[in-house]
Amino acid sequence: MKKQHSLPLKSFIKELKALVKPDYLKAMWPVGGIAIIFIALTCILSFLAASVMSSMMMSVMMIMYGMASPVALLMGLLEVLGAAAISIALSFFFNFFMVAIQYTYQDRLAHPEQPVSAGSIWMHYKHLRKNQVWRIALYIGLFIFLWSLPLDIIGGLVGGMTKSTVWPLIIRIVNDIVILWKALEYSQSYFLYREKQPQFLGQSMRHALTASRRFMDSHKWNYLWINVVCEVLPVLIWVLIFGGLAFYGNYTATYVLTYVGLALVIIGIACYLPVILAAGTLYYVKSKDEPDPVDIDTAFKDTFKPVAELTGEAYVHEVYTPAKPKKQPSPVAKKDDEPKREAKKDE
């Protein structure tokens, strides 16, 4: 078992404050604004999709009674697919901005004179290799989905066969632990990809996930603990306070409190996003520069294919020689036939 590396929590929080505090307001407006716009557009698309789905169910009933045309059902299906496509595109663009913000904080750690502002974030967004970044995001989502799929299937089968709520709940908890574990392993993929970005030309982007898994082999517990303290607990406390206000407003039919509570929850999370993104960036940089760091070249060992194989140069001088047909063995006379022939001659 490898030695677990640990960054001290107190010193980490102190350095996180020093990283975020000077340019917090400059970073909060673009980061929070992008997050709020993304949440608003996602909610609008979800509401429209739900409305269209309700209309489609009504159209199915009307088609059964001959009161509507199947064209209406087809148009509703196209609207749902369009909303889903727009939501996926928005998710990718939001992910691009989050990666650009993390790269901005990473450069700030390397060059303290660089500000974290809308201009610097936009500069990193423009120069981001989006074709490579979205493939990393796809690989992360695909691998986490494949790891969780067996337990999802088992949970559904157990729930359907036993009619029990205990075992499906246990399987669900185990599945969530697996998802969390794999998310921790793949958490440094974007940073490690940036370390070897020129070498990724023509290569598979899953190498970034492999390197992240190796990099986090001895950091997972420490990274989880720092995430819980610096990211999860503040957001959870904020959500409990103002989410409770929204629940109270809904329970007492004081809907003004409901809307105010929900708005404060969204605004608070959006304003805390710079701290969350800076914490992930700071952890990577500190882990890379600790006294006993994980070597980046070791993390990428045996991953990249040689350039000669990618370009085909390795196979230029190979000569194709067709396989020669095998020679059939010549028939050999049996020895028993010779005495018979001599007997015939004697006769």
Q: What is the pLDDT along the chain (347 residues), one digit of tens a residue?
A: 456 667 888 999 999 999 999 889 998 999 989 999 998 888 888 888 888 787 777 777 777 766 666 776 777 778 888 888 898 899 999 999 999 999 999 999 999 888 899 999 999 999 999 999 999 999 999 999 999 998 888 887 877 777 777 888 888 899 999 999 999 999 999 999 999 998 888 888 999 999 999 999 888 899 999 999 999 999 999 999 999 999 988 888 888 999 999 999 999 999 999 999 999 999 999 988 776 667 788 888 888 888 777 777 766 666 666 767 766 666 655 555 555 555 555 55
pTM: 0.82
Q: Domain-by-domain residue ranges, the chain?
A: 129-218
Q: How far apart are alpha carbons 99 and 112 in whole angstroms?
A: 19
- The sign of the CA dihedral 103, 107, 112, 113 is negative
Q: Are 109 and 281 in contact (CB under 8 A)?
A: yes
Contacts 24+ apart (CB under 8 A), 14-22: 15/282, 15/286, 16/230, 16/275, 16/278, 16/279, 16/282, 19/105, 19/108, 19/109, 19/278, 19/282, 20/274, 20/275, 20/278
Backbone Cα Rg of the chain: 31
State the pLDDT at residue 206: 92
Q: Are 275 and 231 in contact (CB under 8 A)?
A: yes
